[in-house]
Amino acid sequence: MIYSHEKSAAAREIFGPREQVRTAPQILGEELTSAALDMSSHPWVSGTLGPKERALILFSLDASASQLEPSRLPQRIADARAEGATDREIIGVLHLTTLMACHSVAVGGSILYDVLLERGAMTDVDSLTDEQEEAIRHYEEDGAAPRTISKKLRALMLTDLEHFNDTQSYINLAYANTEVIGARFAHLVCLAFDAAPSHLYEPGIRIHIKEALDNGATIPEINEVIQLASLRGWRSMSAGLEALTKDASAESAF
């Protein structure tokens, strides 16, 4: 099969290295291969993100904890640099990508709070200490994205004030870097790893879609980011083709 430039890029994402791209039609059949490429190449064929932003989104996905593929990162960085990304932009994206770590605390900590309430080990009271009041004031009035504290974040603050403050400082630093990559793109990056198949952090997806729209992102751009994130599901195909190719090579050796 002869692929267009756009479908060649998609083929490398879903089928893996060049040899696997070449043999995919033989193993899968041309009908299935063609259908896979029509679906997966949509971000390249119809997408509206620039090449640099697309390269940085793909870098973030391979660098995220739930998708982590260290062997692919050097090529992702080279691709982003080739499209004009600076090391400051790459580090900014990497910093945002590490915010996935906060989701463990957001989910686990809020469940801990609920369990403690059920057991009577904690009381849901309105009266707070001076330190807790200051943490809420700082969250709601200062930082990169001042806003009313949510019930979940309030629960996290009540269970571990020191960690809550340290986490907010780290998050604020990530979003303070928006003079390098812009608020719109920062939220598209976070949307990408939140929407990836093995993470699917729904609260984050909702937040970052809203924030991206508020900062000027378009609906086609948001759709493209979600589509790029969905390509992580094709890792099954890439890994399976690699195993089949190796197995075929081993059999032919006898």
Per the rule left: phi > 0, alpha: psi between -120 and 50, beta: everything else, 149 is beta
- Structure confidence at residue 36 (pLDDT): 94
DSSP for 17-38, please give it. SHHHHHHHHHHH-HHHHHHHHH
Q: What is the pLDDT of residues 178-223, one digit of tens each?
A: 778 999 999 999 999 999 999 999 999 999 999 999 999 999 999 9
DSSP for 162-230, please give it. HHHHHHHHHHHHHHHTHHHH-HHHHHHHHHHHHHSTTT--HHHHHHHHHHHHHTT--HHHHHHHHHHHH
Give yes or no for residue 253 having a pLDDT over 60. Answer: no
Q: What is the pLDDT of residues 74-94, one digit of tens each?
A: 999 999 999 999 999 999 999
The answer as to whether 84 is a domain residue is yes
For residues 96 and 196, membership in a common domain is answered with: yes
The residue type found at 179 is E
Residue with tokens 């690699």: 242
For residues 38 and 76, membership in a common domain is answered with: yes
* pLDDT: which is higher, 93 or 5: 93
The mean predicted confidence, pLDDT, of the chain is 91
The residue type found at 104 is S
Half-sphere exposure of 223 (CA within 13 A, CB side): 10
For residues 96 and 122, membership in a common domain is answered with: no
For residues 70 and 90, membership in a common domain is answered with: yes
**Per-residue confidence band for 248, with pLDDT thresholds at 50, 70 and 90:** low
The answer as to whether 179 is a domain residue is no
- Structure confidence at residue 80 (pLDDT): 97
Give yes or no for residue 254 having a pLDDT over 80. Answer: no
- Structure confidence at residue 121 (pLDDT): 87
Both tokens assigned to 87? 């090391």
Q: What is the pLDDT of residues 113-148, one digit of tens each?
A: 999 989 988 877 667 899 999 999 999 998 767 788
Domain span at residue 158? 101-172
CB count within 10 Å of CB 112 equals: 17
How many structural domains comprise the chain? 2
Rounded percentage of the chain residues whose pLDDT exceeds 90: 74
Half-sphere exposure of 242 (CA within 13 A, CB side): 12
CB 72 within 8 A of CB 62: yes
For residues 92 and 115, membership in a common domain is answered with: no
For residues 232 and 115, membership in a common domain is answered with: no
The answer as to whether 186 is a domain residue is no
Give yes or no for residue 1 having a pLDDT over 80. Answer: no
pTM: 0.89
- Structure confidence at residue 104 (pLDDT): 94
